[in-house]
Structure 1
C-alpha cells in the first residue's frame, strides 16, 4: 500500500528493548521517522548494547533519559503495569505517546491516560496495529453495507502456546495474563463492529500464581451475542466468525498486524484476498499525521477507556461468577 505520509517524520524514543520493538523500528523508519534513543533498565547490559547496535540506534540510556530527550514521540512496549507510569511522564515532558496494548490495567488508568493527553495536548494512541490493516476496514464496510443482515453473533478467538516460564506475561504483578495479551484483540474487534456491549459473563483458568492462562466470555448486545476467548496453552489458529441474518463472514488470522502472506475473508461462497500488508507502518503513519495535525486520531483516548471497561467487566465476572453490567461512562 502506498504511504500517505507527506510531512516530515517524527523523532522517536523507545522504552525497553522488547521483541515487539523489532516491528516498530522498521515502521518508524518507513514512515520517515528516526529512532534517536532507546531507554532500558540497565544501559550497561550486553542485551541493551547489542539491541542498540543491531538497530543502529546511536543513543542508549535509561527510561528517564528518553523522557528528557529532545524527541517528538515515544513508543512504550514495557510490561503492562508500567505503561501509565512512563507514558504519562513522557506526555508531561511534551512527547506524544504510542503505548502498546493493553494501554492500561483498568478503566481508571485509561481515564488517567485520557486526562493527561487532554491536559498536555499530546496525542495518545493504544497500539492495536491490526486495526490499520486493509482487511479490517473491508470487514467494517461489509458489516455496514448490510450484506450480512442484522448481526446476531460474533465469535473471536486468539491464542498461542506461551512456553517461556520467564516471560513477564506469567507474572500477575506485571499485568500478565491471556486477556490482556491476546483476549483483548477479539474484544477490540468486536467493539469495532458492534459497538459497546451491555454486559459480560466470563470464566477463566488460572495458574497457581494467579494469572489467567485462558479466559472466555460472552458479551450481550441485546439483539446479538459475542463470544471472545484467549489463551496461552492453545494450539489452534486465531479466527473470526460473524453471523448475520443473511450471511456468515469467516476469517483466519484476523488479528494479524504484519501479514507476510495473503489473508482471506470469506462471505458465504465469496472470497476476498488481501495481499501482505504491514499494519505497524500504517499505524505509525497515521500517528504521525495526527501529531502533525493533518488528520483526526481514529482511536482517541476515549476509545481506550471503553476497551478497558469491557476487560474490567470480564475480570469482574470471573471473580464473582455472575453477569456484570458494563458502564457507559455517562
Structure 2
C-alpha cells in the first residue's frame, strides 16, 4: 500500500468506546468506516445512522467483507480472542481494545495467528501515543535525573451500573482488566522491565449465581529489576471508589508526576518534573494511535508496540489476578 492508500475500517461492536473515541479518531484521520458489526440489528442500525455509517453487518458478515482492510474490536473482554483470531484469519488487520486477551496463553495465540496471516494486531492502549508519555519515558531513559527507583500509578472510578459487563466474571470483568492494566502497562514501559508481584490486596464482589467473582478494587506491590537496580511499583485500581488517576516516577534526583496520564483526550496536560512543569496542548491520543497503526499497515513503519509486549502484559496481569483472587481482604 502507498502512503495515499486509505485504510478501510469495520467496527466490530457498537460500544460506547467505539462511538466516543474510535469514530472521531478515524474521521480525524479521514479513514473510511465501511460498516459496523452488531449482534442486534436494530441497535446496529441506530449506531450507523447516528454516526453516518452506510452498512450494518453481523460480526461474521463484517469480517468477511472484501472492502474492509482493518477491524476495530470493541467487544467485551472475553470476546477479544475469538474475534481477533477470526478477523486475522479473514485477512484483516486488527486494532483491539485492551486487554487484548484474558491470559498470556490467549495473547500468544493471537501473536501466532498474526504471524501466520501476515496481518498486524495492536492492543489499543491509546495513552501511549500522547506526547506527555513519550516525554516521560525520554526523561527517565536519558539518565540525567538519576536511576529510577519507585513508581506509583492509580486509576479508580465508581461504576454505578450493576448490569455493566465489567461486573461479570464470565465476560472478563474486574478492575485489574479494566483499569489496573493502564498503570501496569506504563510501569513496564517506563522501567523497560517485567514485574515480579510481591503482594496484592483485593476486594472481590460477592459470588454470582455461577460462583464467579470479580476484583472491584486492588492494590499491588511489584518489583521491576532493571540494569540500574530494583524499582518498586505500587498500583491501585478500583471500580468502586471515587475517580482518581495519576502516575508518579521517582528517580534518585527528581520526582516526575503526570496528573492525568490515562484520560488525556482533548484536554491540556502537564508533566511535573521536580520544581518545573512542562505543558502539552490538547490532542487526541486515539487519533495518534490510529495514524500510527495505519502507517504500519501500509508498511511505512513497524508497530511501536508489538505482540511480544502484549504477551508480557498479559503474563503480568495473570500474576496479579492470581494473587488478587487468592488473597482478598473481604
The alpha-carbon deviation at position 256 of structure 1 amounts to: 2.2
CA distance in 2: counterparts of 1:198 and 1:299, whole angstroms: 18
Give the number of aligned pairs: 315
The alpha-carbon deviation at position 26 of structure 1 amounts to: 1.7
2:182/2:262 contact within 8 Å kept: yes
CA distance in 2: counterparts of 1:54 and 1:304, whole angstroms: 33
Q: Is 2:26 the counterpart of 1:49?
A: no
1:177/1:212 contact within 8 Å kept: yes
Q: Is 2:56 the counterpart of 1:60?
A: yes
Match of 1:325 in 2: none
**Counterparts in 2 of 1:1-330, with a 5 A limit?**
6-22=3-19, 23-43=21-41, 45=42, 47-70=43-66, 71-200=68-197, 201-208=199-206, 209=208, 210-222=213-225, 223-258=230-265, 260-321=266-327
The alpha-carbon deviation at position 9 of structure 1 amounts to: 2.1
**TM-score using structure 2 length:** 0.92
Q: Helix, strand or coil for the counterpart of 2:166?
A: helix
The alpha-carbon deviation at position 90 of structure 1 amounts to: 0.7
Higher mean alpha-carbon deviation, 207-216 vs 270-279, is at 207-216
The alpha-carbon deviation at position 215 of structure 1 amounts to: 1.4
Q: Helix, strand or coil for the counterpart of 2:152?
A: strand
1:236/1:93 CA distance change after superposition, 3 Å: closer
**TM-score using structure 1 length:** 0.92
The alpha-carbon deviation at position 32 of structure 1 amounts to: 2.6
Write out the 4+ residue segments of structure 1 that deviate beyond 4 Å after TM superposition.
none
The alpha-carbon deviation at position 219 of structure 1 amounts to: 1.0
CA distance in 1: counterparts of 2:194 and 2:53, whole angstroms: 44
The alpha-carbon deviation at position 94 of structure 1 amounts to: 0.4
1:160/1:235 contact within 8 Å kept: yes
Q: Helix, strand or coil for the counterpart of 1:65?
A: helix
Gaps of 5+ in 1: 323-330
RMSD: 1.5
Q: Helix, strand or coil for the counterpart of 1:234?
A: strand
1:161/1:233 contact within 8 Å kept: yes
1:87/1:97 contact within 8 Å kept: yes
CA distance in 1: counterparts of 2:224 and 2:127, whole angstroms: 24
The alpha-carbon deviation at position 199 of structure 1 amounts to: 1.2
Q: Helix, strand or coil for the counterpart of 1:312?
A: helix
Q: Helix, strand or coil for the counterpart of 1:94?
A: coil
CA distance in 1: counterparts of 2:147 and 2:277, whole angstroms: 20
1:264/1:271 contact within 8 Å kept: yes
